[in-house]
Amino acid sequence: MSERWQPSPRAVQRMRWALIALASLPLGRLVAGAVLGTLGANPIEAVTHSTGTWTLVMLAVTLAVTPLRRLGGWPWLLRLRRTLGLLTFAWACLHALTYFWFDRFFDWADIVRDIGKRPFITAGFAAFVLLVPLAATSTNAAIRWLGGRRWQRLHYAVYAVAVLGVAHFVWLVKKDLREPLIYAAVFALLFALRIAGWLQEARRRARDAKSASPLAMRRKAF
Amino acid sequence: MLIRRASDIVPSEVTPESLFRARRTWLGRAALLGVAAAAPALPLASVMAQGARLAGVKPNPHYALAGEKTNPVTEFRSYCNFYEFGSSKSDPAQYAGTLKLRPWTVAVEGAVLKPRTFDVDELMRLAALEERVYRLRCVEGWSMVIPWVGFPLSALIQQVQPTGQAKYVEFTTLADRAQMPGVRSGILDWPYTEGLRLDEAMHPLALLTFGAYGEMLAPQNGAPVRMVLPWKYGFKSAKSIVRIRFVEHEPRSAWMKANPTEYGFYANVNPNVDHPRWSQASERRLGEFGKRKTLLFNGYGEQVASLYAGMDLQKFY
Ligand code: HEM
C-alpha cells in the first residue's frame, strides 16, 4: 500500500478549531434568535430542543470516528475525537443548564424530585452524569494517571450514554416516534460497525498468532 | 369561459394540486374583498373565508378575564398542536393553509330527537356569536390567553333535543388523507375523537367556536368549527369538527386509545395530578419567562367544580 496522506500537526490543530467553530454555529443561531426574538412562540422550548438535538448529533459524530477511521483508512481522525467528545459535553451542559435554569429555576429539591419521577428525565440525567467523568478524564495527564487500559474501560460508558440519550428521546415524545427512532437507527448502525471491527480485529489477531507460531515460521522458511 | 369535460383535459394541463389550492384560496380572498366592498350589509355567514373579520361580535363581559394579557395572534397562529397536520408545533401553520373550509357540514346525530346535518354557515347562525377571553392550558405545560368567538354548545344541544339515552357527546374531527399529512403518516388512530359527559357539554363555558381575535378561525386553529373547553387540557377541545354524536356510553377518545395510562376521559386541568411526562403543578404562559402555578380547573373551579362533586379526581383524571 502506498504512503497515505497524513495531515501535519498544524493541519490537525486547524481542523480542531474548524470543528469547534462548526459545532458552535447552532449556538450562535440560538443566541441571535433569542436576542432578535425569532425563536417562535415558545423560545425556551426551542432552546431545550435545539441543545438536546445537538448533544445527540455530536455524540453520534464522536462515535463515528472509530468506524470511519477503519473504513475510510483515515487513522488520523483519532486526533479529532477528543475535541468532538468535549463538544458533545459542552452541548450537554447547555442542554442541562437550560433545564436547571429556565425550566426549574435552580430549585434543587424540585429537580431531584423530577429526576426521580419522570423516566425521561431520569434517563437524560443519567446520561449527563455519565458524561462528566469522560470529559474530566480527557486530558493527557488523566490518561497517563489512569493508564490506557483503565481509561479505555471507563470510556466504554459512552455507549451507555448513547443508549440513555436515545431512551430519553423516545420517552419524551408524546406519540410521534419517528425522529427518536432515526437516532436509534444511527446509533445501532454505529454499534454494528464497531462490533464488526472488533470481530475482524479478533480474527486478525488469531491469524497473526498462528503465523507467529514456530510451526508456521518453519513452514514459511521453506 | 369554456368548460371542458374531464376527458378533454390532457394531463399536462392539469394544475398541480398545491398551486390549484393556493389559487383557490387567493380567489376566495379576492372574492371576499369584492363581496365585502359591494355589500357591507350582507349577513355574516356569507363572509366565510378564514381570516375574515367577524363584524358585530360583542365581547361577553362575564368572560373578559380582566388582568390577564391576551397572547399575540401571531403566537396563536404559529404554535399549534393539530396532529392531523403533523406533530411539530409549526406543522399546522405550515400545512393547514390548504384545508378546504367550504362546503363544510357537521352531522349532529345519535340519541337525539332531531338529528340534523348542518352546513357550517347555517350552524354559525344558530345563536348569537360572542367573544370570550379564555385561558388555554396545554397538557404539555404551556398556556395562552385567547379571545374566542362562538356560542355555548348548549344552544345546539337544545336544538337537536337529546333523548334520555344521551349520556355523553362525542366529537369527531375531519380525517382527510388528501389534505392532512399527519393523517397519512398515522400517528394516532384517526379520525380524532373526543368526548364529554352531557352535563359538561351543556355547561355554559363549553363554547362552540368559529373564530378568534375577531376573525374567522385559521385552519391551523381548527377552522371552521371547533370546541373550546377552558377548564380541560387543550386536547379535549376537538378541532375542525365534522360530527357530533350523542351516545349512551363513555366514548374512548383518540388520546385514550393512543395511551390509556397517560390520558383519561376527563382531562380536567389539575395541578395535583401529574402526567408522567409533564409536571402539571406549574405552566409557562407563552411570552413569560417565569412559570405560573397551575390552577385547579384552570381557574374555572367556581363555575365547573360542581360537575365533579364527590368524584375522586386522582382516579378520574
Ligand atoms: C441533566 C440531564 C438532562 C435533562 C434534565 C434533560 C431534559 C430534557 C428536556 C426537559 C427536554 C424537552 C422535553 C420536552 O420538550 O417535552 C429534552 C429534550 C431532549 N434531550 Fe434532554 N435532558 C438531559 C440530558 C440529555 C442528554 C445527555 C442528551 C443526549 C445524549 C439529551 C438529548 C435530548 C434530545 C435529543 C431531546 C429532544 C430534542 C427534540 O425534541 O428535538 N438530553 N431534554
The answer to whether ipTM exceeds 0.95 is no
Q: How many residues does chain A have?
A: 222
Percent of residues, chain A, with pLDDT higher than 70: 94
In b/e form, how buried is each residue of B257-281, taking b as 16+ CB within 10 angstroms? eeeeebbbbbbbbbbebebebbbbe
Q: Does B286 sit within 8 Å of A42, measured CB to CB?
A: yes
CATH dotted code for B6-308: 3.90.420.10
Upper half-sphere CA count for residue B192 (Cβ side, 13 Å): 27
pLDDT at A83 over 80: yes
pLDDT at B184 over 80: yes
Question: From the list A41, A172, A178, which residue is nearest B286 (CB)?
Answer: A41
Q: Where are the domains of chain B?
A: 6-308
And the C-alpha cell for A27?
449556538
Mean pLDDT, to the nearest integer, of A116-126? Answer: 96
Distance A102 CA to ligand 1 centre (A): 13
For position A48, what pLDDT does the model report?
96
Would you call A211 an interface residue with chain B, using a CB distance cutoff of 8 Å?
no
Cβ contacts from A onto B, under 8 A: 48
Q: How far apart are CA B189 and CA B32, in angstroms?
A: 36
Chain mean pLDDT for chain B: 86
For residue B174, the one-letter residue type is L
Query: Which atom of ligand 1 is found nearest the CA of A127?
Result: 27
Q: Could you tell me the pLDDT band of residue B28, with boundaries at 50, 70 and 90? A: very low
Would you call B306 an interface residue with chain A, using a CB distance cutoff of 8 Å?
no
For position B102, what pLDDT does the model report?
93
Answering whether pTM is above 0.80, one says: yes
pLDDT at B236 over 80: yes
Chain mean pLDDT for chain A: 92
Mean pLDDT, to the nearest integer, of B102-113? Answer: 97
And the C-alpha cell for B308?
365533579
Would you call A38 an interface residue with chain B, using a CB distance cutoff of 8 Å?
no
Q: How far apart are CA B174 and CA B241, in angstroms?
A: 6
**Ligand 1 surroundings by CB, under 6 angstroms:** A 45, 48-49, 52-53, 55-56, 59, 92, 95-96, 99, 103, 121, 124-125, 127-128, 161, 165, 168-169, 172
Q: Where are the domains of chain A?
A: 9-221
Question: From the list A41, A102, A118, which residue is nearest B277 (CB)?
Answer: A118
Mean pLDDT, to the nearest integer, of A32-48? Answer: 93
pLDDT at B260 over 90: no
The alpha-carbon gap from A41 to the nearest alpha carbon of chain B, in Å, equals 5
For position A175, what pLDDT does the model report?
82
pLDDT at A34 over 80: yes
Q: How far apart are CA A135 and CA B273, in angstroms?
A: 39
For residue B225, the SS3 value is coil
For position B44, what pLDDT does the model report?
42
Q: Which chain B residue shows the shortest CA-CA distance from A116?
A: B276
